[in-house]
Amino acid sequence: MIRVNWSMLVVGFLLVLLFAATFDAFAASYTVTCDPPTERTDGTPLTPAEIAEYKFLVDGTLDGTSTACSYLVNRPAGTYEITAVTVDTGGLESPASPPFPLTLIQSPPMAPTGLR
């Protein structure tokens, strides 16, 4: 019989980050999405009902949380590293995901049209 010390168990998190970037004249925003983990670091199953939230970090600093495995962040133009952490319903946190490098370039606004 294998004994697991549940108080020391950390939620495993395999993260695949995708992004969609939109730009306007004032800010750049992007949506980070991930695949929810299906097992803990010890290999035991992890169900969606056991996941309380995801923490999204930008350059190592908490930027926000979400109950879905996606998060919208508004940032000025620049290069950032995005990581995520899964938190289970018991408050246990996974290790941070591998960093996802993201460079945002703000586009100038469109030229006016329909001038008379």
Domains of the chain, residue spans: 7-104
Rounded to whole angstroms, how far apart are CA atoms 75 and 80?
A: 9
As a whole number, the mean pLDDT across the chain is 78
Each residue's pLDDT tens digit, 10-60? 333 333 333 333 333 346 778 889 999 999 999 999 999 999 999 999 999
pLDDT band at 106 (very low <50, low <70, confident <90, very high): confident
Nearest CA among 69, 39, 75 for reference residue 56: 69
**CATH class given for the domain over 7-104:** mainly beta
pLDDT of 110 reads 80
Rounded to whole angstroms, how far apart are CA atoms 107 and 103?
A: 13
Comparing 80 with 5, the larger pLDDT belongs to 80
Contact in structure between 101 and 79 (CB atoms under 8 Å): yes
